[in-house]
A and B are shown apart, each in its own frame.
Chain A
Amino acid sequence: MADVTLQNLVKTFDTVEAVRGIDLSIPNNEFVVLVGPSGCGKSTVLRMIAGLEDVTGGDIRIGDERVNDVPPKDRNIAMVFQNYALYPHMTVAQNMSFGLRLRKVAKSEIRDKVQRAADILGIAELLDRRPRELSGGQRQRVAMGRAIVRDPEVFLFDEPLSNLDAKLRGQMRIEIQRLHQQLRTTTVYVTHDQVEAMTLADRVVVMNAGRIEQAGTPDEVYHRPRTRFVAGFMGSPAMNFLDCQITEENGRTVARLAAGPALPLPAEQAARARSYTGKKLVAGLRPENIREAAGHDGANSSGVPHDVSIDIVEPLGRETIVYFRLGDATLCARVGTEVHPSAGEQTSLVFHPDRLHLIDPETDLVL
């Protein structure tokens, strides 16, 4: 068990700056998920923690020790790879015990540890098989078993679920969560899948272009994004962005959406937006904050109705996603199953300003 600290971490490949100064401190036992689009540097950060990439600048500390120049095997970490990286010529038991055998751990102790890990992961009956005789999910379990038997201070996961089909991914997500609850080992997990990030993380670190955009609880990054990038990256379907103007109307601060309704801002938002009166901002509104007019929940009462023309309808069963045009922009709304909009239809949707995010287009920061 140890905490991990990254200080002004930099990595350049030839002329490309992959990681541009990362500061992050991960307390003991925490499950941190690095999430971001491909090429944002998240895997590079993980590989630097693992010791598989040299550090160009800055420091990595595990516990109290600066580990920049410590070889991977002496960092007491274990890593689960995207393609499992199981040794194809070894059985499951041999795969799991390889690290222990290299460290000359006593045979009886190895057997106990492998058995315990196999029991935790439900792969006890697979111990004598070769990797090629296993399904994707089983291979992933073996890869995790190999990490567990080492009893490391830190677990590293590099997109471990990206090779599995959607259903299996859901199951393995739950297992990883259960595993963490059981072992409480400090974990750094890299993914580009925001659902994994939201469901697994104690803390989500959203990365973009080699920098940290925001680090916070899943709730924080979803509901209180710090930048336009985070607002747009977290959430599916993605947040709607459209130009708006801040005006004062009848003593209230109002965000007037381009080609759309004027949304009166809640007191807190209004206080922050007031200095921008008369200026152009970008309004961010999640699809769930644009609803059908005929709703029956109380929240609808605070919304502003607006007539739109439906472009595309995606029924998903428990909800329906509708795309509509507002001026030049295509927006997305989530409506309940009670209404059945059809493409081309004119209908009234309600815009809810209480969760509106206002973004300064010059800094891309959320107000």
Chain B
Amino acid sequence: MRVLPPLLRRKPAVAVLMCVPLFALILGLVAYPFFHALFLATLNKAETAFVGLDNFTFLFGRQTFWMVVRQSLLFALVAVVFKALIGLAAAHAINTIPTKGQRKWRGMMLIPWVIPPALSTLGWWWLFEPTYSAINWGLTKFAMPAVPWLSDTFWARFSIILVNVWVGAPFFLIMYLAALKSIPGELYEAAEMDGAGPWQKFFFITLPMIRNIIAITTLFSIIVTLANFDIVRVLTQGGPLNTTHLFATYAFRVGIESGDIPLGASVSLFMFPMLAILAFIILRNVRRRAASLA
């Protein structure tokens, strides 16, 4: 029988060793970039001098920055609401199909979510693109006016929200579907005996039973949506006139394309406290409700 070296015979030591890859990943991919960004945000454009919070004061004085803040919030809010509503409706619809037929529908509905968004957005870009837009071709066939999908502020915002909803709704669908399946059927039967109709069953049984999943899914989706990059990058690059920029695309524009990396770092850091507070509030509610239900 082989004998382990003395260090490996101690269980705590083995446990720590096994966690090392994870620690290394977190350190390298989360902690280091975060603190490096904090550090960068305090430098001047040439990264030669410490300027304290000057980058932030500069940003707060710029109208474009506040426009980006408003746009990001509007984008996240509208997109998440629609993703949640569509996801819930679709999950309900699939849940009413007999179990045998559910798989193929579930699979089909998940397609937008599994295709890499940069690729699928390229497909959407073809549909929207001014010269050869397939949608506009269809509209004009029915004698309707062509829509300036990507060149008009309203329609450009509409388009990126539409694509984001299309990509993100399946995530809500799959989470809600799992939550719906975990509700015991007897509860609905009891509610039926109690005299509840379909809407009352939904509002008094379904909704309270899946509230935690809704909260967690929404939180997660807000974070991912606020940090969205690829859709805007591919469809509009922030235009027209910066009216579709989000935090991430604006940080990219300022930091990489305009070469002011410290300012770009400041833009991307601005999201952090907002998301942290939001996450704290939602997770606290989730814990409380979970404790009262379990």
Taking Cβ atoms with an 8 Å cutoff, the residues of A that contact B are 50-52, 71-73, 77-79, 81-83, 85-89, 98-99, 102-103, 130, 132, 146, 150
Contact = CB atoms under 8 A, between A and B. Distances in A.
A79 B208 contact: no
Contacts of A71: 192
B186 A83 contact: yes
B195 A89 contact: no
A77 B195 CA distance: 10
Contact of A85 (B184, B292, B293): B184
Interface of B: 184, 186-187, 189-196, 200, 204-205, 208-209, 292-294
A77 B190 CA distance: 11
A86 to B, nearest CB: 8
Contacts of A86: 190
A87 B293 CA distance: 10
Given A98-B204, A102-B200, A132 B293 contact: yes
B189 A85 contact: yes
Given A73-B196, A89-B209, A99-B195, A130 B190 contact: no
B26 to A, nearest CB: 35
A78 B189 CA distance: 11
Given A83-B184, A88-B293, A89-B293, A73 B194 contact: yes
Contacts of B292: 89, 130, 132
Contacts of B193: 50, 52, 72-73, 77-79, 99
B189 A102 contact: no
B209 A88 contact: yes
A132 B294 contact: yes
Contacts of A81: 186, 189-190
A219 B205 CA distance: 44
A18 B209 CA distance: 33
Given A79-B193, A87-B205, A102-B196, 19 more contacts: A52-B192, A71-B192, A72-B192, A72-B193, A73-B194, A73-B195, A83-B184, A83-B186, A85-B189, A85-B190, A87-B190, A89-B209, A98-B194, A99-B195, A102-B194, A102-B200, A103-B195, A146-B190, A150-B194
A83 B200 CA distance: 22
Contacts of B209: 88-89
A150 B196 CA distance: 14
B194 to A, nearest CB: 4
A85 B292 CA distance: 17
Contacts of B184: 83, 85
Contacts of A88: 209, 293
Nearest to B200: A102
A206 B227 CA distance: 66
A103 B193 CA distance: 12
- List 3 A-B pairs, minimum CB-CB distance, nearest first: A99-B194, A73-B195, A85-B186
Nearest to B293: A88
A293 B59 CA distance: 105
Contact of B191 (A98, A103, A132): A98
Contacts of B204: 87, 98
Contact of B195 (A50, A79, A102, A130): A102
Contacts of B195: 73, 99, 102-103
A73 B194 CA distance: 6
A88 B192 CA distance: 16
23 contacts: A51-B192, A52-B189, A52-B192, A52-B193, A72-B192, A73-B192, A73-B196, A77-B193, A78-B193, A79-B193, A83-B186, A85-B184, A87-B191, A88-B209, A88-B293, A89-B208, A99-B193, A99-B194, A102-B196, A102-B200, A103-B195, A132-B292, A132-B293
Contacts of A50: 189, 193
Contacts of A87: 187, 190-191, 204-205, 208
A77, A85, A99 — which one has the most chain B CB atoms within 10 A of its CB? A85
Contact of B190 (A51, A79, A89): A79
B190, B192, B196, B205 — which one has the most chain A CB atoms within 10 A of its CB? B190
A103 B196 CA distance: 9
A174 B84 CA distance: 50
A98 B201 CA distance: 11
Nearest to B186: A85
